[in-house]
Structures are given as structure tokens and as C-alpha cells.
Chains A and B, each alone.
Chain A
Amino acid sequence: MGPPLWRSHVCSRRITIDYLVFAGQRLLQATLVMFVISLIGFSIQDNLGDPLRELLGQSVSEAEREALRDEMGLNDPFFVQYGRFITNAVQGDLGTSYFFKRPALQVIADKFPATLDLVIGATLIIVLISVPVGVYCAIRPNAWLARAVMGISIVGISIPVFLTAIFSIYLFAVTLGWMPSFGRGEDLVEIFPGWKTGFFTKDGFAHLVLPCVSLSSIMLPLFIRLIRSEMREILESEYVRFAWAKGLAPKRVWFLHALKNTMLPVVTVGGVQIGTMLAYTILTETVFQWPGMGFLFLEAVNRVDTPLIISYIIVVGLIFVVTNTVVDLLYTWVNPTVKITGRGR
């Protein structure tokens, strides 16, 4: 299968009426998706368990429980509760966490920087390693090193994140004593109001290493393999052959002509993979006691902190929907040959 045409011919990038209509549709869809997410998120809360169990001690009488349930509005019919929720939600109020006793959105916002640190660290590892290694494996597919990388990457994909995490803690923190075993450390720098990061201090950085490596352990092999196979395809294409025929230097062919075109699909996949990355932060953060959103979510589920659970679902849903919409809009803009759905062309 040869590469699709658009890779070699990028056409005009004018914003047309069609494009605006498409963008409008896309935004409408995104809003609809968010609405559905809120409805689903809200409707599962009844199956999560009884929040009062976590709030009250064992000696509390049933009458007391009922009174509190009434006070919290948990006895109202579903649509009354949902109506109340959505009315507040459109005003930016997703409820108050039972455990933290603060607005759920605020709690999530507080934990967001920790997760962002982790995601940035893991992304850096993935980008800095997967690109050179992937390119190498594509250029020298038969070298023993390339074969070894391919073999190891299969193993890497198959080992669950929590196993990598626990193993690395025991090896690097307990046995060797090189790395701290849990948490973010005490020495954090505030780079924006509310965003404290561990990247700029020795202690903070040391705490970041193991969690970031663990988090990247699944995606890294995936991207190495993806870059390798995309690049190999491109290297077979007509225009690369033409470049060789023109007598261009190998470096120029590989890194300018071939790599550039390899990256387009890789970046697209990367955008979609942000979601997967968020899912893996839940595991990584739990094992490392990392005070981020993922760990917060798991704890909220254990405590049946429903406002926090729903807020997390909505925030993560929003991240998904926004990234996907932006990727779609950019993609169609960059590459108008992709059919704009619903226009019958």
C-alpha cells in the first residue's frame, strides 16, 4: 500500500465557507458530546455506592442517615438531581467534594500541575528517545541493535505500567537507594501562580524520574515502532527515490524529506494518545503516591466522592473533546483533500 496522496501534495489553505460550516458542525458535535458525557457521568453515580458510608461512622442510626441523605438531596428523583447539577454546571459549579469540602473543580485544578509535570516529563522522554531510535531502526532495519530494540519494545508494550513502577521502586529506591520512593518531594518551584513544578530543583527532579519513566514505558515502545514503520513506508515512496536520484546527501533525505512527512501521522496519533496517557497516570500516580489528578480520581472512587468523580470525568472528557476537535480542525485546514463530512463530495 503506497502512501496517500496528500503526503506529497499539500494544497491551498484558504478558509472557505465550507470550512466554516464544517467547523461550526464540529463545535456543535463537541458540545453535544460534552452533554452526553455529563449525563452518563451523572447517571453512573447511583452505581458507585453510598457516599454516606464513607462520611458516617458505624454507630449512626438509619434515621440519621436518611436525614443527611435528604439534606444532601440524594433522595430526589434522578432528573431533579440532574437538572440541579446541569444548571450549576453551566455556571461553572460542578459541586463540592465531600472529602475535601471545597469546590470539586478547584480541587482538580490544584492537582492538575502535578499530573502536568508527569505528562510533560513522560512526553519529553518519549519524544527525545522515540524519534532518534525510531529513525535509526527504519534506516538500518537489519542492524542487530535495531532488531534488539524491536524485541525489547514488544516486551515493553506487554508489561503493565504498575509492574514497571513497583519494580523500579524496589530496584532504584530500596535496593540501590538512588531515587526517592514516593511523592513529589518538598522542593518545588512555582513557575506560574498555582503551578508548582519539580523540574527546576534537584529534589523535585529526582522525584520525577521514576514516575515519568514508568509512565512513558508503554507509549515509548509504541512510538518507536510507529515511527519506524511510517518512516520505512516513506523511504519506499517515489519522491524519496527521486531525492536519492537527485544525489542529495543521505542526512538531507532522511531528516528533511523523509522525517518531516513521517511526523504528520505520528503527531496525529500522539494527540489521540493523550487520552491513553491520562488513563495511565491513574496507575502511575497511585503506585508513586503522586498527588495528581489520576490518584485523586481513584481515591474519589474509593470514597464515593461523587461530585469529584463526575467533575473528573467531565474535565477529562473536556480535554479529550477539545484535543480531538482541535486536531480535526487543524487537520482539515492543513489538508483540505480530507473529505468534509456531510457535504456530499
Chain B
Amino acid sequence: MNKRMFGLAAGFAAAMMIVGAAQAKTLKMAYDADPVSLDPHEQLSGGTLQLSHMIFDPLVRWNKDHGIDARLAKSWKRIDPLTVRFELNNGVKFHSGNELTSTDVKWTFDRLKVSPDFKGLFTIFKELKVVDADTFELVTTEPFPLVLNLATYIFPMDSKFYTGTDANGKDKGALVKHGNTFASTNVSGTGPYIVTSREQGVRVEFKRFGDYWDKKSPGNADNVILTPIKEGPTRVAALLSGDVDFIAPVPPTDLDRIGKDPKVDLITMSGTRIITFQMNQKRVEAFKNPKVRLAIVNAINNTGIVQKIMKGFGTPAAQNSPKGYLGHDASLTPRYDLGKAKQLMKEAGFEKGFSITMMAPNNRYVNDYKIAEAVASMLSKINIKVDLTTMPKAQYWPKFDEQAADMMMIGWHSDTEDSTNFSEFLMMTPNKDTGKGQYNGGNFSNAELDKLTLQSQGMTDEAARIKVLKSIEGIAYAEAAFVPLHWQDLAWAAKKGVGAEAILNVMNFPYIGDIVIK
């Protein structure tokens, strides 16, 4: 009798488990790469931030409309030109069970300040002042408009969990770029997911965190399996065959195919990464003449490049700031006019043209080498003969640093999601001591632009700041500081019923915690 009862109970339990398993929803996703480390401060990269949004939560985060939403910080207020005060949500638990307090935020902030990758962004901050358990202040050295933009990078870590020494006697909080640290393989955040297993380069498995603080989150994926699939065609095949539910990025060659497939949804957005060519004025005397630079911009049909080479998978650009950024000036439009370009070359005294060298990577940006080939042939129309070399990105970047060719390609995404970042790194007069113009391989220099860029960095009045940012773009446009090509589009694809569209944004941080699977 007893035995039978036991058998029944066991059968019932097993049946419940099967029902439970049927209800547990698993999201299988494939990206082109998996995160380098579980330490959110080891590398400033898209991969790290995407992971951080799963296992941590930021103080605030970007929404679809380029606005800022509250996350762990429920409110904030500027209390003086140098200080913004934040209030934390109550009752937020880390995966370890510890409760989130201002001390954790301070610990995280101090760690960011020494992280090789992040400290550049955080130099403007003097300190993080703890007011009480739920309140803290971010204090800057001078008035700073982008406090919230940078707060999107603060993903509070569990300071108690990361304090002490690990099995090897090393500090658990240690941050090492190329070393096996406690934080690179162990994690305790406040995020919607816990890492349950990880084989680097093969798969990462996540489980929904039972005590997740955000009870309003609609997310219903109980388990997530992230598999890196490097090859585009294989990634697409994995989606179409149903082996995975969600992929990113979608290779441009497969956009048509995926768009037409009734089993999957294709989601595309105009991105924020600008692709450009820089004209090195130190190497080529002629590039010092604004007329020659204007002629080059006029000779390059970047709208045509987007249509023909990018197959529409991009937005033709005439400035750095994409739509939605404060500095974006809608009146600056692409200018392709071969007649005008020839005229300008004639006026500059280069009717017969000249020869230049050009370099571009061949595996960094979408269709990078094809774009370079097209630009080279377009320049031949105004008698500029181009000797083009393309190479893998690993070899390209050292060449870029050496400024090894007269025209070089670079794509740029603003880490702060703000216009100033473009001018600070790409257009300000290069200066080794201040680090300004670090990627200005064209050696473009304009005193007014330098002044406005520095000014914009300290303006907290948004309306006035927008004017300054727009005038920076205006100067770059008039002077043809560089050759703007296009903003690369973003593309994801998901099985029908996976509510991917709602959680995607132009920053390419899929908020997996909020994904709803039907």
C-alpha cells in the first residue's frame, strides 16, 4: 500500500515536472561573438555591455527614442552645476542575496575610475559621494551635461561578493586586462539572469533570477542559451532551421531571404556608427586646400554606395551625428556633384589631379573593402589616382596609428551616445598631452571647432548646447573635414512569436530581461 502511494506520488511529481518543463520558456540566441569576460569592466565593447544588461542592471538606460529610463536609480536631480543626486530603488537584491546599497554603487564607480577601458570616460567625475544607503551624488570637476549618458555605464556590482580573496589568495575585486581573475569568471549582479554555465567561445547558459527586483518586467524567458556563431551564413541557417530563436547581426546578403521567410521576423534600424574616410593633410599638401577636400566629398556618390554596395542597408551621411543625437543637423545633406567637384579641382589648380595611397580594413565594417574600391574609382573621375590596399583589421589598426596612407577609413560610434565624442576624437587638433583628436588621422585642425567642442563639454543648458553642437557639424561640413559615407544599419532576426522588436534599440543592447515569448 505504502509502496503504491509512493509510486503514485512519484508519478504525480514526474508529471508536474513535465508540465513545468513544458511551460519553462527557453530563448536560444546566436551572436557573432560571445563576451570576452564576465567582468563588466574588463573591456568596453558592445559584447560586454550586452552581457551587462543581462546579468547586471545600470543606474539608468537608453530607451528606443534615445531617451533615458530609470533602472536601479528611480530618480535623479541636478542639485548644483557640479552635482547630480540619485535615489536608488528599494529592496533590490543581488544574485548572492545581498541587498543593493549606495556603497555598492560607490565601489563600482571607484573600480570604473581605474579600469583602463572605462576611466577615460569617467575622468570628468571627481567622486561619487554616498549620502545614505539609498542616496548618492555624482560630482564632476566642472559643469558636465552628460552625467546621465555616463550613468548608463554604471552597472552596480555586489561589493560584498567581490571583497576578500579567492582560492588563489588574490583579491576578488582585482581588475586585470589579460589575466584570470575572480571577477572574470564569477559574477553577482542585480540583473534578470544568472549565469549557470559558460564555455568560452562555445555557449553561455542563463537562468532567470527568481528575486529579480523589477516585478514590472514583462520578460518570460526562464532560460537563455547564448551560442556564438561566427559565420554569417551558418548563423542564418541556424535560425531558419529552428536551432536558434534569435540572431544578431544579420549579414546584409541574407536580408532579402530573411525578410521574405514567413517563419521569421527581420528587424532593422538605422544605426549610429558613422563610416568615414580621413584625408591626411600632413601627408598630402593638396589636402590642406579646403577646395580639394570639398571636391573629394563632391566626387563621392555615397548615396549610390548605400544603394548599390550596401543594398540599402545604411543611411547616407553628411555629418557625424546620426538622427536623434543632439548635434544632428537635418539641413546638412549628402552632396554628390561631379561637375562641381571637377570645377573645385580646377579652381584649386589640380585639374590634372594627383596620386594618393589609400588603406581600408577588409573585415571590420560591413562591406568595408568594397566601399573603399568604389571610392577609389569615383576619385579617378576627378583625376585622383588611388593606390588602394586593404587588410584584416588586426593589421589595419597599427597602420592607422602610423598614418600609413593618405586616405584611411575609420568607423566611429560615440561611447557617450553624444555628438561631442565625434569631434573630440575625430576632428579636434591632435594633441598627445590632452589626448584630444586621438583618431584624427586627417590632421584636420580648426581653432573654432576646437573651442566649440571644449565648450560643449561643459554646457548644462541643453538648448544652448544643441546650437553649439550643430555649429560644430556645420564647420566640419563647410570645411569638408572628412568624407562622411553612411551610418551602418543594424539588423536582427527572430523566430515569429519571439517578441524581439520590443526589446531592441539603436544602441544594440537587446534588453533580453524584458523579452516576451509567445
Residues of A at under 8 Å CB distance from B? 47-50, 53-62, 64, 68, 72, 96, 98-102, 166, 169-170, 173-174, 177, 180-183, 286-289, 291, 295-296, 299, 301-304
Contact = CB atoms under 8 A, between A and B. Distances in A.
Contacts of B425: 58-59
A174 B240 contact: yes
Given A56-B177, A61-B438, A181-B238, A304 B231 contact: no
Interface string B381-404: 000000000001111111001000
Given A60-B116, A289-B228, A169 B237 contact: yes
A13 B117 CA distance: 66
Nearest to B413: A58
Contacts, number: 127
Contacts of B121: 59
Query: Do most interface residues of chain B lie in helix, strand or loop, or is the interface mixed?
Result: loop
Interface in B297-327: none
Given A49-B392, A57-B117, A177 B241 contact: yes
Given A55-B178, A166-B237, 5 more contacts: A53-B394, A58-B412, A101-B178, A289-B227, A303-B394
Contact of B116 (A56, A174, A291): A56
Interface string B97-135: 000000000000000000011101100000000000000
Contacts of B266: none
B201 A291 contact: yes
Contact of A180 (B116, B199, B240, B243): B243
Taking residues whose C-beta sits less than 8 angstroms from the other chain, chain B's interface range is 35 or more
Nearest to A50: B398
B117 A173 contact: no
Contact of A289 (B116, B178, B234): B234
Given A47-B395, A302-B392, A60 B120 contact: yes
B243 A54 contact: no
B196 interface: no
B45 interface: yes
Contact of A59 (B117, B229, B392, B401): B117
A291 B438 contact: no
22 contacts: A47-B395, A48-B394, A54-B394, A58-B412, A58-B415, A58-B425, A59-B44, A60-B116, A62-B432, A96-B179, A96-B180, A98-B178, A99-B36, A99-B200, A100-B201, A101-B179, A180-B243, A181-B238, A288-B234, A289-B229, A291-B201, A299-B201
Nearest to B397: A53
A100 B117 contact: no
A295 B117 CA distance: 28
A72 B237 contact: no
A173 B179 CA distance: 39
Contacts of B178: 55, 72, 96, 98, 101
Given A55-B177, A60-B120, A62-B432, A181 B43 contact: no
